């Protein structure tokens, strides 16, 4: 009997706890709905308060009737997603949320509201934990504007994570086996955004991280041979090596057997570039950038080519070319030109004026 009574009390206690949990969930859902409703009301008011500007009229057109300027098109408030922030957000997630909130302010014209209403709109996007933190933990003056409030929130999160951890992540970041070079660069820049590097040395930090973390041995070798390697040049080299690596001649990878700096002259146009000598290619290949600089291609190329044809050709590493070739090859897609040591017939890629090659090193 005693066991049955204890079991009944335990069952009743569990039922009571379940009921309390359900009531708590209902209260939270109701509070969230109320915040959404208040925010929607403020947005509607902000959009309705936009003043229409009259159309400017000439002083001589006195008989022209006054007409209000056309109201700029605006997104309906229902089409604007509200960026909510939870207390579990990391410093990086807060940075993403802040960008979304800035876009949200722009779309809703939130800055046209009084400061108090702007703060109320912000509070409606925060969970209960953030609300308590702002109210009781962070010392924010009552007259502070919205930017000051958000800066204080970010500083609060920054103080919870040592900057040494972010710098450790940065200095230990290397390119993954299947990671593209562009993804690798984007990742190190995202990590560096939280490392508090000085503006003057940021490019050097990115460059050094690329040199240390790149997996492409050929790109590394070329970067180490540069006497004054800059970030821009390091990116150019890595992208060019990536394109050359995936180009082929008869299913055989193209082999770069040498390179030198040169100045290419075409008509009245001139560009400095790096020449790569490819064993499998006979002729003179120009990359897209050099072709545009020399006005062989229009600046908006390949807009003139249908999308389906362009995608097919781009996979093969298409380039503006002159002379003969023994196989499909690709030039440096960033700023370099691929060529044999002696361009045939002194001709150019388009059959026009001959190009002049002036090695600079």
CATH code, 188: 1.10.1200
Question: Is-contact 234 242, C-beta < 8 A?
Answer: no
99 and 113 fall within a common domain: yes
Domain end residue (candidates: 134, 161, 188): 161
Helix, strand, coil abundance in the chain, percent, nearest 5: 50, 10, 40
Domain end residue (candidates: 161, 178, 200): 161
98 and 186 fall within a common domain: no
CA nearest neighbour of 316 among 247, 258, 234, 226: 247
The helix (run of H) or strand (run of E) holding residue 37 is: helix 2-48
Domain end residue (candidates: 138, 161, 184): 161
- What tokens does 169 get? 């992540």
How big is the chain, counted in residues? 361
233 and 147 fall within a common domain: no
Residues 6+ apart with CB under 8 A from 357: 262, 263, 264, 275, 339, 343
What's the whole-model pTM score? 0.48
181 and 157 fall within a common domain: no
Q: With respect to residue 315, please indicate whether it lies within any of the assigned structural domains.
A: yes
Q: With respect to residue 18, please indicate whether it lies within any of the assigned structural domains.
A: no
How does pLDDT run along the chain (361 residues), one tens digit per residue? 666 777 777 788 778 877 887 787 787 777 777 777 777 676 666 666 654 444 444 444 444 445 555 555 555 556 678 889 998 888 889 989 999 999 988 888 888 989 989 999 999 999 999 999 998 888 888 888 999 999 999 999 998 889 999 999 999 999 998 899 999 999 999 999 999 898 888 999 999 999 999 998 889 999 999 989 999 999 999 988 876 655 554 545 566 777 777 888 888 888 887 777 776 677 777 776 778 788 888 877 767 676 555 455 555 544 444 333 333 333 443 344 343 333 333 444 334 444 454 544 4
Q: With respect to residue 232, please indicate whether it lies within any of the assigned structural domains.
A: yes
156 and 167 fall within a common domain: no
264 and 355 fall within a common domain: yes
- What tokens does 181 get? 């070079």
- pLDDT for the residue 320: 40
- pLDDT for the residue 17: 78
Q: Is 282 helix (H, G, I), strand (E, B) or coil?
A: coil
310 and 341 fall within a common domain: yes
* Number of domains present in the structure of the chain: 3
Q: With respect to residue 27, please indicate whether it lies within any of the assigned structural domains.
A: no
- pLDDT for the residue 299: 76
195 and 138 fall within a common domain: no
Q: With respect to residue 248, please indicate whether it lies within any of the assigned structural domains.
A: no
288 and 265 fall within a common domain: yes
Place of tokens 């545009």: 292
Q: With respect to residue 72, please indicate whether it lies within any of the assigned structural domains.
A: no
Helix pair angle (2-48, 115-123), 10° resolution: 150
Q: With respect to residue 20, please indicate whether it lies within any of the assigned structural domains.
A: no
272 and 354 fall within a common domain: yes
- pLDDT for the residue 253: 58
92 and 177 fall within a common domain: no
Angle at 222 between CA 217 and CA 228, to 5 degrees: 135
Question: Is-contact 269 353, C-beta < 8 A?
Answer: no
Give me the domain span that covers residue 296.
254-359
Tell me the CB-side half-sphere exposure of residue 79, using CA atoms within 13 A: 4
Q: With respect to residue 13, please indicate whether it lies within any of the assigned structural domains.
A: no
Give, in order, the Cα–Cα distances in Å from 161 to each of 116, 148, 154, 195: 31, 20, 11, 11
């Amino acid at each position: 009997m005693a066991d049955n009574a204890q079991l009944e009390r335990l069952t009743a206690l569990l039922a009571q706890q379940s009921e309390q949990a359900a009531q708590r969930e209902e209260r939270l859902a109701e509070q969230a709905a109320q915040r959404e409703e208040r925010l929607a009301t403020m947005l509607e008011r902000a959009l309705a308060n936009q003043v229409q500007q009259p159309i400017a009229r000439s002083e001589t057109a006195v008989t022209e009737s006054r007409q209000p300027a056309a109201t700029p098109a605006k997104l309906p408030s229902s089409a604007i997603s509200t960026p909510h922030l939870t207390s579990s957000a990391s410093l990086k997630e807060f940075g993403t949320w802040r960008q979304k909130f800035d876009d949200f302010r722009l779309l809703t014209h939130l800055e046209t509201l009084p400061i108090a209403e702007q703060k109320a709109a912000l509070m409606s996007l925060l969970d209960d934990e953030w609300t308590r933190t702002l109210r009781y933990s962070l010392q924010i003056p009552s007259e502070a504007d919205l930017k000051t409030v958000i800066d204080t929130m970010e500083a609060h999160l920054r103080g919870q994570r040592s900057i040494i951890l972010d710098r450790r992540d940065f200095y230990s970041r290397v390119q993954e086996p299947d990671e593209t070079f562009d993804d690798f660069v984007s990742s190190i820049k995202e990590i560096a955004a939280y490392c508090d590097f000085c503006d003057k040395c940021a490019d050097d930090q990115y460059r050094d991280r690329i040199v240390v973390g790149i997996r492409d041995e050929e790109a590394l070798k070329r970067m180490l041979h540069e006497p004054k390697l800059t970030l821009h040049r390091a990116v150019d080299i890595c992208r060019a090596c990536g394109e050359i690596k995936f180009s082929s001649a008869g299913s055989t990878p193209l082999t770069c057997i040498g390179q030198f700096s040169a100045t290419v002259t075409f008509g009245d146009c001139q560009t400095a570039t790096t020449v790569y000598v490819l064993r499998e290619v006979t002729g003179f290949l120009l990359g897209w950038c050099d072709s545009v600089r020399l006005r062989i291609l229009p600046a908006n190329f390949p807009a003139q080519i249908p999308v389906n044809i362009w995608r097919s050709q781009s996979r093969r590493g298409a380039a503006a070319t002159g002379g003969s070739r023994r196989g499909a090859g690709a030039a440096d897609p960033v700023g370099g030109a691929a060529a044999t040591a002696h361009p045939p017939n002194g001709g150019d890629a388009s059959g026009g004026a001959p190009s002049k090659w002036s090695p600079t090193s």
